[in-house]
Amino acid sequence: MSELDFKLYVDSRFISPYALSAFVALTEKGIPFESQTVDLVADECRQSGYSKMSLTCRVPMLAHGDFYLSESSAIAEYLEDIFPSEKYPRLYPENVRDKARARQIQAWLRSDLMPIREERPTEVIFCEPVKRSLSVAAQDSVVTLFAALDDLLKTNSLNLFNEWSIVDTDLALMINRLVMNGDTVPDKFAAYARHQWQRESVCQWTNKIERS
């Protein structure tokens, strides 16, 4: 198995937040890889060829030779392990507690705030906004998100842990669900999200959408 034998399976519309996260992780590591699209509308993720490789039948999925790994945070941690920061750019903070906090935030963003994710899907970021107002449940989730951001972004820092980490991309995407839909977001949080969205690895992903 070649160390550079990587293929990343992503959704064909390039709107999956988790596919974006895995794409950014590979790009930031500077690892050559091939992108392969999966048509989720046509349910290609459940067809036998894909489902035999992916335990979860979801995107993203990383193929490294004959090893297949789904779930974006697992992919980032795998890349961090096999391409250590002594030789490659870091995806997670060096400090042990900061690293644990980064992983906590990733897990939280993937398991909570469902009303925001449902009412402000990533189409509002990558395609077009929606016109409906946030429900009471979604407004409550926004309060929860902003309270956490107040604690995480105590200063006007444009990175959570003084330097970029993969969780910055994940958190910025959650904030941009609101920013890019025109919802009210405090200036400090919006500035953080805009800064993260200008990162070259993220721009490479958005360029794929424009070309598709």
Per-residue pLDDT of 23-64, as tens digits, reads 999 999 999 999 999 888 877 777 778 878 888 878 999 999
In this structure, of 142-146, 151-155, 174-178, 203-207, the range with the lowest mean pLDDT score is: 151-155
* Residue 11 half-sphere exposure toward CB, CA atoms < 13 A: 21
Same domain, 33 and 57: yes
Check whether 159 has a pLDDT greater than 90.
yes
Q: Does the pLDDT at position 149 exceed 90?
A: yes
- Note whether residue 208 is domain-resident: no
Specify the number of domains making up the chain: 2
- The pLDDT value given to residue 54: 81
- Structure tokens that stand for 20 in this block: 């974006």
Are 83 and 177 in a shared domain? no
> Which of 59, 90, 121 marks a domain boundary?
90
Residue-level pLDDT at 212 = 59
Question: Does 34 reside within a domain?
Answer: yes
Rg of the Cα atoms in the chain? 17
Q: How many CB atoms lie within 10 A of CB 30?
A: 11
Q: Same domain, yes or no, for 62 and 112? A: no
- What integer is the mean pLDDT of 77-83? 96
Of 3 and 70, the one with more pLDDT: 70
* Same domain, yes or no: 107 and 195: yes
- The reply to whether 69 and 108 lie within a common domain is no
CA atoms within 13 A on the CB side of 34: 8
107-131 average pLDDT score: 97
Q: Which pLDDT value is given to residue 1?
A: 45
Residue 73 and residue 164 in one domain: no
Query: pLDDT at residue 10 above 90?
Result: yes
Compare 137 and 210 and report the one with higher pLDDT: 137
Owning domain of residue 41: 6-90
Single residue among 90, 114, 145 that ends a domain in this structure:
90
Distance CA 99, CA 176 (A): 23
Closest CA relative to residue 13, chosen from 39, 34, 33, 36: 39
- Residues 109 and 82 reside in one and the same domain: no
- 70 and 17 in one domain? yes
CA 211/CA 45 separation, integer angstroms: 23
In this structure, the answer to whether residues 84 and 105 fall within a common structural domain is no
Q: Report, as an integer, the average pLDDT of 140-146.
A: 98
Distance (Å, whole) CA 102 – CA 86: 20
- The predicted model scores a pTM of 0.93
Paired residues of 9 in beta bridges: 36, 61
Are 136 and 174 part of one and the same domain? yes
The enclosing domain of 134 has a CATH number of: 1.20.1050.10
For residue 187, what pLDDT band results from cuts at 50, 70 and 90? very high
Same-domain status, 164 and 85: no
In the predicted model, is pLDDT for residue 144 greater than 90? yes
Q: For position 55, what pLDDT does the model report?
A: 81
User: Under a CB-based contact definition with an 8 Å cutoff, are residues 148 and 170 in contact?
Assistant: no
Contact 125, 173 (CB under 8 A): yes
Residue 152: pLDDT over 60: yes
**Both 173 and 148 in a single domain?**
yes
Mean pLDDT of 87-94: 96
